[in-house]
A and B are shown apart, each in its own frame.
Chain A
Amino acid sequence: MSLDKDQVQQIAQLARLEIKPEEHTELVEKLSKIVDFVGHLSEADTDGVIPMAHPLNVAQRLRPDVVTEPNERNRYQQNAPSVTDGLYLVPKVIE
């Protein structure tokens, strides 16, 4: 196994994903397989090759910095699990 249980736990923590104890064994096994598989990339000779982040060699467009969207907060918040007075509610962060 190229990954162990602690590493998988750490990745899950970084990704903010709760992993149930019964999911651990399978997840360690499958993620290890994936990491081994993509590890084949190390065989490629990439000396001096420029990393490619975008499929077409174009720059991102800029737009004028002006407001174009109307404020539709109430409509958008209809999908929110919990709101009050136009604010999104989460558990208390600061004591």
Chain B
Amino acid sequence: MTDLHDKSLTELAAGLEKGDFSSVELTQGLLNRIAAHDETLNALVTITSDEALVAAAQADAARASGDAGVLNGLPIIHKDIFCTRGIKTTCGSKMLDNFISPYDATLVERLGAAGAVVLGKANMDEFAMGSSNETSYFGPVRNPWDLERSPGGSSGGSAAAVAARLAPAATATDTGGSIRQPAALTNTVGIKPTYGRVSRYGMIAFASSLDQAGVITRTAEDAARLLGVMAGFDERDSTCLDEPVPDYVAELGHSIKGLKIGVVRQHFDEGLDADCSVKVKEAIAALESLGATAVEVDMPNIDLSVPTYYVVAPAECSSNLSRFDGVRFGHRAENPEDLHDLYCRSRGEGFGDEVKRRIMTGTYVLSAGYYDAYYLKAQQVRHLIADDFKRAFADVDVIAGPTTPTPAFKLGAKTDDPITMYLNDIYTVGANLGGFPALSVPCGFVNDLPIGLHLVGHHFDESALLRCAHAYQQETDWHTACPEAFK
């Protein structure tokens, strides 16, 4: 039973079903691993041992009485951006260090109703603003593959926990690459569904025209299993779309023979590390050997996606984060002179440096005299970028390329220059700007560090991405590699 932590969610589901072990045994085993390893990794902000063991016992009882949900007794971790009733929800910020959510996010509710057991809440970049997990008020997360390196961000805690076998799966969110980039840098699978596919009710907002919830796992099959529970209409989120949700697991069985893959010419230019380029091209060749065909596609405006994103996202964040005013919840400055002083000092003290920079960038691009030159212009360029994707998707089913320009970088390496940090998102932000689903799957190692293959699909066609990744994982074993210190 010592190797339960290394099993996928799908394998664990089968084991629970057969009665090889109980959810209490499984949950206790993973809690022991968290106790042993999390001091090193800092992947979790809150560990919910007591609640987890109660939920596991309930899951075992439900199974005994023939009432098991599809995720019955399976342990997961939630990114600390999702509201969890009665449990601290910090969003990685001092601002919410004392915030106990009065309700559950829809995603938390759905996974819970299916029987999932929550082990804890994952560390993250503050308000999901960052690509390295270094902006968290609770300190950086360390990459299990090299503790001197970043696991990426903003869902760095979720990715590190899954990579280190502290849980088979963790929820995550993605505004510009925050699921896929950490997945690539930690040898895990990360899927950002179509905009509007998964409810954002109870998910703390960063940039509302870009944010989407997803999941990090070690296999595409596990991601399919979880997405099937998470996806679907929710009347409590006005941006959640009422589209039918296919049986993602059943669709994994369909071959990828005849699938057309577009390879973006601009994604293989000098910005990409040469060794990463070789690995990603090998992965695309592997998909061709499975029956897919690859063609080159041209996306002339894609190079503008990072500057576009860094206007649109900060603008929306400056608006969304105005709710943190020190009055109704969150951090409040002591002894304010007047209401203005209360607002300014509560926000000045409660937010970290990167969040302040983004709020200020957003305030600037939305202010009178600059709106047309920056915000309106960015919205126009966003249209051009979305059209690049639409033109490509007229001919192909999936677009494939690198998830990140390099493997994981050292902690502290990019904190001095915001632009170098922002350029990490170069291959991932386009999917958010256009609302397309996208996924990263492990595709090899460069200097002993994992990297990912990035796949983008048509709106609402998460299935094509999951099928591709699943077919690829049947032929490769990159994803089974476990960092030495966490075996």
Q: Which residues of A contact B (CB under 8 A)?
A: 3, 8, 11-12, 14-20, 23, 27, 30-31, 33-35, 37-42, 44, 46, 49-56, 58, 60-61, 63, 72, 75-76, 78-82, 88, 90-93
Q: Which residues of B are found within 8 Å of A33, using beta-carbon distances? A: 417-419
Report the bound CA distance from A54 to B99 in whole Å: 31
In the assembled complex, the Cα of A52 lies from the Cα of B310 at a distance in Å of: 15
Nearest chain B CB to A40's CB is how many angstroms away? 5
Q: Give the residue name and chain of the B residue nearest to A76 (CB).
A: B102
Distance in angstroms from B337 CB to nearest chain A CB is: 7
Cβ-defined partner of B379 (8 Å) among A34, A51, A92: A51
Tell me which of A19, A34, A61, A82 contacts B361 (CB under 8 A).
A34
Interface centre among A16, A27, A49 (most CB of B within 10 A): A16
Known: A16-B343, A17-B351. A52 touches B337 (CB 8 A): no
User: Could you say which of B310, B353, B381, B386 has the most chain A C-beta atoms within 10 Å of its C-beta?
Assistant: B381
Q: Is the CB of B364 within 8 A of A80?
A: no
Instruction: Please name all residues of chain A whose beta carbon is closer than 8 Å to the beta carbon of B327 when the two chains form the complex.
Output: 80-81, 88, 90
Q: Are A34's CB and B367's CB within 8 A? A: no
> Which residues of chain B (362-397) have a CB below 8 Å from chain A?
363-365, 367, 373-374, 376-384, 386
CA distance A90 to B342 in the complex (A): 8
Residue of B99, B322, B328 with highest tally of chain A CB at under 10 A: B328
A51/B380 in contact, CB under 8 A: yes
Q: What's the nearest-Cβ distance from chain B to residue A20, in Å?
A: 8
Chain B residues near A14 (CB, 8 Å)?
Answer: 363, 367
Q: Which A residues are CB-close (under 8 A) to B340?
A: 16
Which of A18, A27, A54, A76 contacts B209, CB < 8 Å? A54
* Inter-chain contact B307/A15, CB cutoff 8 Å: no
Which residues of the partner chain A approach B310 to less than 8 Å between Cβ atoms? 34, 37-38
Q: Given A34-B361, A90-B327, do A41 and B307 touch, yes or no (CB 8 Å)? A: yes
Please name 30 pairs of A and B residues whose Cβ atoms are closer than 8 Å in the assembled complex, sorted by A: A11-B360, A12-B360, A15-B359, A16-B343, A16-B347, A17-B360, A18-B347, A18-B348, A31-B357, A33-B418, A34-B357, A34-B419, A37-B422, A38-B378, A40-B307, A41-B378, A44-B381, A49-B381, A49-B384, A50-B383, A51-B376, A52-B379, A52-B382, A55-B209, A60-B239, A75-B102, A79-B100, A79-B102, A80-B327, A81-B329
> What number of B residues sit within 8 Å (CB to CB) of A?
73
Contacting residues, chain A, for B376 (C-beta < 8 A): 51
Determine how close the nearest CB of chain A comes to the CB of B250; give it in whole angstroms: 26
Q: Is the CB of A17 within 8 A of B209?
A: no
Q: Which residue of A49, A56, A72, A91 contacts B337 across the interface (Cβ within 8 Å)?
A: A91
The docked-state distance in angstroms from the alpha carbon of A35 to that of B230 is: 38
* A57 CB, min distance to chain B CBs, angstroms: 10
CA distance A88 to B327 in the complex (A): 7
Contacts of B336 in A (CB 8 A): 91
Known: A78-B100, A88-B327. A40 touches B359 (CB 8 A): no
B329 contacts A11, CB within 8 Å? no
A24 and B102 alpha carbons, distance in the complex (Å): 38
For the complex formed, measure the closest distance between the CB of B302 and the CB atoms of chain A, giving whole angstroms: 12
Contacts of A46 in B (CB 8 A): 377, 380-381, 384
- Having A41-B307, A90-B339, one finds 14 other A-B pairs with CB under 8 Å, namely A3-B364, A11-B364, A27-B357, A34-B419, A41-B374, A41-B381, A49-B381, A58-B241, A61-B238, A76-B102, A79-B100, A79-B102, A81-B330, A91-B337
Q: Which of B280-302 contact A (CB under 8 A)?
A: 301
> Counting CB contacts under 8 A, is B398 at the interface?
no
Name B215-249 residues within 8 Å CB distance of A.
235, 238-239, 241
Q: Which residues of B contact A (CB under 8 A)?
A: 98-100, 102, 194-196, 209-210, 235, 238-239, 241, 301, 304, 307-308, 310-311, 318, 322, 325-330, 332, 336-345, 347-349, 351, 353, 356-357, 359-361, 363-365, 367, 373-374, 376-384, 386, 417-419, 422, 432-435, 459
Q: A31–B378 contact, CB under 8 A? A: no
Cβ-defined contact, B379 with A88, below 8 A = no
Report Cα–Cα, A53/B316, bound state, in Å: 11
Residues of A within 8 A of B360 (CB): 8, 11-12, 15, 17, 27, 31
CB distance from B458 to the nearest CB of A (A): 12
Give, as a whole number of angstroms, the nearest-CB distance from A73 to chain B: 11
Chain A, Cβ-Cβ closest to B386? A52
* Complexed CA–CA distance, A73 and B249 (Å): 42
> Which residues of chain A come closer than 8 Å to B196, judged between CB atoms?
56, 58
B384:A40 contact, CB within 8 angstroms: no
Q: Are the C-beta atoms of B374 and A38 separated by less than 8 Å?
A: yes
B361–A55 touching, CB < 8 Å? no
> Which residues does chain A contribute within 8 Å of B348, judged by CB atoms?
17-20
Q: How far is the CB of B360 from chain A (nearest CB, A)?
A: 5
Alpha-carbon gap, A65 to B359, bound state (A): 33
The 5 A-B pairs at the shortest CB distance, nearest first, are namely A55-B435, A18-B348, A51-B379, A81-B332, A46-B380
Chain B neighbourhood of A18, CB < 8 A: 344-345, 347-349
- CB neighbours of B341 from chain A (8 A): 91
> A75 to B379, alpha carbons, bound, how many Å?
40
Q: Determine which residue in B379, B386, B459 has the highest number of CB atoms from chain A within 10 A of its CB, and name it.
A: B379
For B383, the chain A residues whose CB sits under 8 A away are 49-52
Taken together as a complex, chains A and B put the C-alpha atoms of A44 and B360 apart, in Å, by 24
